[in-house]
Amino acid sequence: MEVLRGDFAIPSTTGKLRVIPLGGLGEFGMNMMAYEYGGHLIVVDCGVIFPDAELLGVDVVIPDITFLRESEGRLLAIFLTHGHEDHIGALPYVLDEIDAPVYGTPFTLALVRSKLTEHGLLETSDLRELRAGDPVQAGPFRIEFIHLTHSIIDSGALAITTPAGTVIHSGDFKFDPTPTDRRASDLHTLAKYGAQGVLALFSDSTNVERSGITPSERAVRERLSEVLAESKGRVLVSCFATSLHRMQIFADLAREHGRRLCCIGRSMYQNSEIARQMGRLQIEEGLLVAPQDVRKIPPQQAALLVSGSQGEPMSALARIAVDRHRWVSVQPDDDVVISARIIPGNEKAIFRMMDHLYRRGARVHYDDGSHPPVHVSGHGSQEELRLMLSLLRPKYFVPMHGEYRQLRRHLELANDLAAGTQQAFLLESGDVLEFDEAGARKNGRVPVGRVCIDVGTLDEVGDLILNERRKISVEGIVVPILAINKHTGELEASPEIVSRGFVPLEEAQDLVEKARAMIRETLETSNVEEKGDWGVVKDKIRSTLRRFFDQELGKRPMVLPVILEV
């Protein structure tokens, strides 16, 4: 057992355990949970959420880590349940500010290494392997990884034992009886903890609205085999680039149907190479084809794994759909399989991409409820959630990983089942749940929120910038350009006016002339001191033109005056 103690004594058993969700409750993504005992902290997961259409120009959204900044020196480690972006994507931004070792399973850490390398942080990061049955002692916390099946390999729950009791943090899970890697969920260890006594269970709520049991990953094999057998052209399968179970099934089927396999898209190619090097993706020698050689294969002998199942604008499948990919184009008789769920908010992009594929003559198969399915979820449905509760019989229960309605329904499911649970809590990000000898209770809040990141600059995108982008998208922008004599403060030529997203100025010459007149009048009525301060002149022109456009058109575009000294 690895021991991570630090320069302190393990606190006494009379301390309080505080559990603080910093993200991931009441929303999909941005999962991050802090556990605090005796003044010492560990964090479980460190994820991102992808922006909706309102967050213009934002690439990823990460949790606000003000609480961790204010807890500097108290954070012992970060523990990861698995390698999906909503659980590891924020690590580069957090580790750039916070110094702490990161624990994860081998494949999870392989994905983290790739991510940290891109950000230039690998050499300064402390990554440590976490394996089932080999617990880690971090100060007052004893953490054991419990393998559970999910849509990504090396996924599981964490048993966090403290002097106040044991908490089970489920991560994302389902109980797949026939996983492709033959590593079923470790129900025995869950039951062992249940027999010993579990203080609290924090459990995945993603599929609480689905009755029954989530089908095994192997359920997609039949449909994919049918598509490969019936297709007269190439077969393109798009799934998440971390779905190694799905990738293994398709690779096996490609071989069985006499097709060569090619991985298209940066993330798909990168992750498949990592998995192959680790021996976690088995592909026979000679089956794989390099992306640049895919055109050399007859269409009926090609099977392509393609990234971009969510219609991301620059993803491989999105570019293929509009015939903008340098190596792959869709032809009539080709089959495209979208083997992934539609993440809420991505519907328009995905259906638009499908329309482009249909226009090019492809047959498109997606998760439309038909059987056999092209996609199965990686999250447990109601019966699996009940089984988790029954195995652990926690004293307290907290639903996590879901929107508010899902958390509420999971809480109701737990109350209906009882299973030894004394009390269930409905938390939101920022709430503090406190455990001690007297019981459990909500006790205050910590600062939480979202930090928007523009990946191109690696800068935070604040509310001011987002509001400006929204305003430009709705009202447009007007740029008056003034050539002013720096000695006299007088105009040297008639002002030029340029606009984008406002009104077509070539069709509104009367409006342009009135605006020019307003600018001239503003300068003429300014005193000598004002004319000598370009900042004041710009502010006066900005307010004058915005008021003018509002009166004339009912619009208040962003006005950005430009002054050229001559």
Model confidence over 140-192: pLDDT tens digits? 999 999 999 999 999 999 999 999 999 999 999 999 999 999 999 999 999 99
Number of H helices, E strands in the chain: 16, 30
Q: Is the pTM of this model over 0.85?
A: no
Residues in the chain: 566
| DSSP tag of 119 | T
Domain spanning 217-365: CATH 3.40.50.10710: yes
Is the per-residue pLDDT at 80 higher than 70?
A: yes
Residues 6+ apart with CB under 8 A from 175: 148, 149, 184, 185, 187, 213, 380, 384, 387
Tokens coding 335: 């089959």
Three-state secondary structure call for residue 389: helix
Residue 90: burial class (beta carbons within 10 Å; 0-12, 13-18, 19+): buried
User: What secondary structure does DSSP assign to 183-245, as a single string?
Assistant: ----HHHHHHHHHH--SEEEEE-TTTTS-S-PPPGGGGHHHHHHHHHH-SS-EEEE--TT-HH
Runs of H (alpha helix) within 280-346? 316-321
Amino acid at 164: A
| DSSP tag of 174 | B
Tokens coding 403: 């929107």
Q: What is the pLDDT of residue 105?
A: 98
Domain ranges of the chain: 17-212+377-454, 217-365, 476-565
Specify whether the CB–CB gap between 376 and 219 falls below 8 A. Answer: yes
Q: What is the mean pLDDT of residues 470-484?
A: 77
Q: Give the span between the Cα atoms of 196 and 192, in whole angstroms.
A: 6
Q: What is the mean pLDDT of residues 110-131?
A: 95
Specify whether the CB–CB gap between 379 and 214 falls below 8 A. Answer: yes
Is the per-residue pLDDT at 8 higher than 50?
A: no
On the question of a cis peptide bond just before residue 92, with omega within 30 degrees of 0, the verdict is: no
How many other CB atoms sit within 10 Å of the CB of residue 260?
Answer: 19
In degrees and rounded to multiples of 5, residue 141 shows phi and psi of: -105, 130
Is the per-residue pLDDT at 12 higher than 50?
A: no
Q: What is the pLDDT of residue 467?
A: 59
Q: Give the span between the Cα atoms of 227 and 38, in whole angstroms.
A: 58
Question: Considering only the top CATH level, what class is 17-212+377-454?
Answer: alpha beta
Specify whether the CB–CB gap between 523 and 537 falls below 8 A. Answer: yes
User: What secondary structure does DSSP assign to 347-362, as a single string?
Assistant: HHHHHHHHHHHHHTT-
SS3 content of the chain, % helix, strand, coil (to 5): 35, 25, 40
pLDDT-based confidence at residue 445 (cuts at 50, 70, 90)? very high
Question: Considering only the top CATH level, what class is 476-565?
Answer: alpha beta
Model confidence over 319-340: pLDDT tens digits? 999 999 999 999 999 999 999 9
pLDDT-based confidence at residue 368 (cuts at 50, 70, 90)? confident
Is the per-residue pLDDT at 262 higher than 80?
A: yes
